[in-house]
Amino acid sequence: MTESDILTKVKARFGARVLAEYSFRGQSAVTVAPETLRELLVFLRDDVEIALDWLMDVGGVDYLGYPDDDDREWRFEVAYQLYSMKLNHRFRVKVGVRDDSVEVPSVWDLWAIANWEEREVYDMFGIRFAGHPNLRRILCHDEFVGHALRKDYPINKRQKLSQPSEIILCEKVEWA
């Protein structure tokens, strides 16, 4: 199944809930609202013909000040890169996030790696994930104020840490 076949199948099932689509040189992506995200990802993972069983990465985008982009209804996007180890194809899902008052549902129970990936997006962009078990900063230190990869963060503003961070051991988590 090619990526455009996946796109066709997603559009047939989700209809108008697909807010935007993208296809270029064999790569395809759809953008949805946060409330559609989990249903779409579960569909992509569990459909036997699509079987995107690996969440490769979760990334954030800040479109503040993006040129020729005045009609975009959201400032942030969260992008989920999916890959099928079984069928060797890829797909990309994006979520439009109007501002940081909007929460995106966490998918850490679908793919355990999303736990850390979502913490990184939270750390860098301040996007919160509803239902995340441990939404703390993962890269910047605990005394850091603001979110470093937002376009309105001063490009070389540095923040000192007063003492070494405590090493926090994770409690044992029962995976679903």
Partner 1 sequence: MGLESNLSQPFLATRLDEVINWGRKYSMWPMPFGTACCAIEFMGVVSGRFDVSRFGAELVRFSPRQADLLLVMGTITQKQAPVLKQIYDQMPNPKWVVSMGACASSGGFYDNYSVVQGIDEIIPVDVYVAGCPPRPENVLGAIVKIMEKISTEKAAEWR
Residues near partner 1 (CB under 8 A) are 139-141, 144, 148, 153, 155-165
Residue 101 or 156: which CB sits closer to partner 1?
156
Beta-bridge partner residues of 77: 61, 96
Residue 19 or 140: which CB sits closer to partner 1?
140
Residue 139 or 173: which CB sits closer to partner 1?
139
Residue 112 or 139: which CB sits closer to partner 1?
139
CB of 67 to partner 1, least distance (A): 23
CB of 97 to partner 1, least distance (A): 22
In residues, how long is the chain? 176
CB of 162 to partner 1, least distance (A): 7
Angle (CA) 62 111 40, round 5°: 65
CB of 116 to partner 1, least distance (A): 16
- Cα–Cα distances in angstroms (integers) from residue 132 to residues 9, 103, 109, 114, 173, in the given order: 29, 11, 9, 9, 13
Residues 24/92, Cβ–Cβ less than 8 Å? no
